[in-house]
Structure 1
Amino acid sequence: MVGRAHYYEGHSINQITLPVRVFKLLGVDTLILTNAAGGLNPEYAVGDIAVLNDHIFLAGLAGIHPLRGPNAEEFGVRFPPLSDAYDLDLRRNVHKAWKTVIPPESKRRLHEGVYAFVGGPSYETRAECRMLHHLGADLVGMSTVPEIVVARHCGIRVLALSLVTNSAVLKPVPRGDDNLLQTKDQSELDTILQEGKANHEEVLEAGRSAAVDMQRVVENTITLIFGD
């Protein structure tokens, strides 16, 4: 695939995961997914890459789930476990590949973390970011998890990588009764409120600047796993 269909575009949860079932029928046994994500972990910088090792699927817990309804027995069991969703051997090879292709002096860092899926398309509020971070999420984004759930239902091994394209704002919104704000004019108030706000163009630019490194890491990982 080149890109993907997103839930926020108006597709159903079953439509966005259909390609994974097609992969299974074509004999695919390993799925590598990449995405752009907001960094909830303060240690993550824009341009860093994170290997996913777990996820938080609040929509799924609320019933917006790709396996809801009659089970497709030809693909998998009724109640698939997800405690092993992110293949350990695949993750191990990413770390090996990283040391091979990314020079030690690079500012870009590799992490392992937990990804929280949200429906979108609006970026998260500050309170939502703090909630997700308190729940244990290091990253937040609008894709990937539904496909991973279906892949694991099909018995497909999964590797997922997130590129940190923006840092989520965890600091609470300034209060209107803050004494320090009473003498500021409207432009100064706007500047304070805009601090750290997610900007889609900045997200795209961060993705473009890191794309080559992401591709090199994925290609080298594939070589380590499957050979030349």
Structure 2
Amino acid sequence: MSLSHLQSACPETAIVLGSGLGSVVDDLGIEAEVPFADVPGLSASTVPGHAGRLVLSRISGKAVLIAQGRRHLYEGLSAYEVTASIRFMHELGVKRVVLTNAAGAIKESMAVGELMLITDHLNLQGTTPLLGGPHFHDMSEVYSATWRDRFLAAAAKLQMPLHEGVYAALLGPQYETPAEIRMLRTLGADAVGMSTVPEAIQARALGMEVAGISMLTNWAAGLKPQTLDHSEVVAVGKQASVQLAKLLAAVL
């Protein structure tokens, strides 16, 4: 399919799928798809678990644009390059975006395989997509409180566990050390990952409404007697994608 098909659909809502969560599109359905490489300014991810394409789906008859995968700072890109898909969505007329990711659980009352609604974030990646000028944007409410209420209500109706918490974004690609996890816990982080925050900043700067959902695919370093492996992160993400798809369909 061509870009014109995406443009003519006029989607107002978009979803960005993180590591291992790409199979959500199988549950929501595919009307059209375009590889990232066919979109000016976008490029395919080099990370396993990220298909690297834009998919057009419909939920209750409404067009929804889905980014099946994303780029990351640790791939050697700038924050501006990483957020090209958000600017493209905005150009298409997208007004609200759900940013999902695979994350390590820090808060021990949560469990691997469950979802966490992001209430706020810690940007510990040392950069921002707004570099290059005095682009001062308020970040008092990056993640829409109104939208969070809708997700919580939908999860309750589905009898699905849905936590709330603060997401910490680090540069990666190496996983965090146990000492770094103790630091993050002291700072108030409930989950940790390597994405999402640049996109959330860019989306808010463009006036888009943002929701964030972390799929808790593993325990953060030092909390359990285990080592961390990306293949396991992707595997847990795939298993939990069904729950995420149900939640998204209920809210959107």
Q: TM-score, normalised by structure 2?
A: 0.71
In 1, the alpha carbon distance for the partners of 2:100 and 2:72 equals 13
Partner of 1:12: 78
Q: Partner of 1:2 in structure 2?
A: 68
Counterparts of 1:142 and 1:70, CA distance in 2: 25
What SS class does the counterpart of residue 86 from structure 1 fall into?
A: coil
Q: Distance in 1 between matches of 2:84 and 2:238?
A: 28
- Asked if residue 137 in structure 1 is aligned to residue 189 in structure 2, the reply is yes
- Quote the offset at 1:18 in angstroms: 1.3
Give yes or no for the alignment of 1:220 onto 2:250: yes
**Which of the numbers 99, 105, 123 marks the counterpart of 2:156?**
99
Aligned mates of 1:49, 1:26 — CA distance in 2? 29
Match of 1:118 in 2: 170
* Gap runs ≥5 in structure 2: 1-66
The amino acid of 1:48's aligned partner reads E
SS at match of 2:83: helix
Superposition CA RMSD, Å: 1.5
Deviations 1:73-104 (A, max 9, x none): xxxxx31111111101110111111122346x
Q: Deviations over 1:139-177 (max 9, x none)?
A: 100110000000000000001100000011345xxxxxx
Q: Determine what percentage of the aligned residue pairs are the same residue.
A: 40
Distance 1:148 1:38 in 2: 19
Cα offset for 1:119?
A: 0.8
TM-score, scaled to structure 1 = 0.78
Counterpart CA distance in 1 for 2:235 and 2:68 is 18
User: Number of residues paired by the alignment?
Assistant: 186
Tell me the CA shift for residue 5 of structure 1: 0.8
- Aligned residue for 2:238, secondary structure, equals helix
Give 2:115's aligned amino acid: I
Which moves more between the two structures, 121-130 or 16-25?
16-25
Q: Which amino acid aligns with 2:86?
A: V
Cα distance between partner residues in 2 of 1:114 and 1:212: 23
State the Cα deviation string for residues 191-228 of structure 1 (Å, max 9, x = none).
xxx92221222212211111100111011111xxxxxx
Regions of 4+ moved over 3 Å: none
Task: Give 1 or 2: higher strand fraction.
Answer: 2
Residue of structure 2 equivalent to 1:201? 231
Equivalent position SS for 2:233: helix
In structure 1, what is the Cα distance between the partners aligned to 2:68 and 2:239? 18
- Whether contact under 8 Å (2:124, 2:171) holds in the other structure is no
Please tell me whether Structure 1 or Structure 2 has the larger radius of gyration of its CA atoms: 1
Q: Which residue of 1 aligns with 2:62?
A: none
Cα distance between partner residues in 1 of 2:155 and 2:122: 26
Of 56, 61, 67, 2:122 maps to 56
Structure 2 Cα separation of the partners of residues 200 and 151 of structure 1 = 27
Matching residue of 1:210: 240
Deviation of residue 70 (structure 1)?
Answer: 2.6
Question: 2:225 & 2:196 partners in 1: Cα distance?
Answer: 28
The one-letter code of the counterpart of 2:138 is: P
2:139 equivalent among 78, 82, 91: 82
Higher relative contact order (CA 8 A, sep 6+): 1
Q: Deviations over 1:107-133 (max 9, x none)?
A: xx2100000001111110000111011
Which structure shows the bigger proportion of residues in helix conformation? 1
Counterpart residue number, 1:159: 211
- Give the unaligned 5+ runs of structure 1: 72-77, 104-108, 172-193, 223-228
Instruction: Name which of structure 1's ranges 194-203 and 30-39 shifts more when overlaid on structure 2.
Output: 194-203
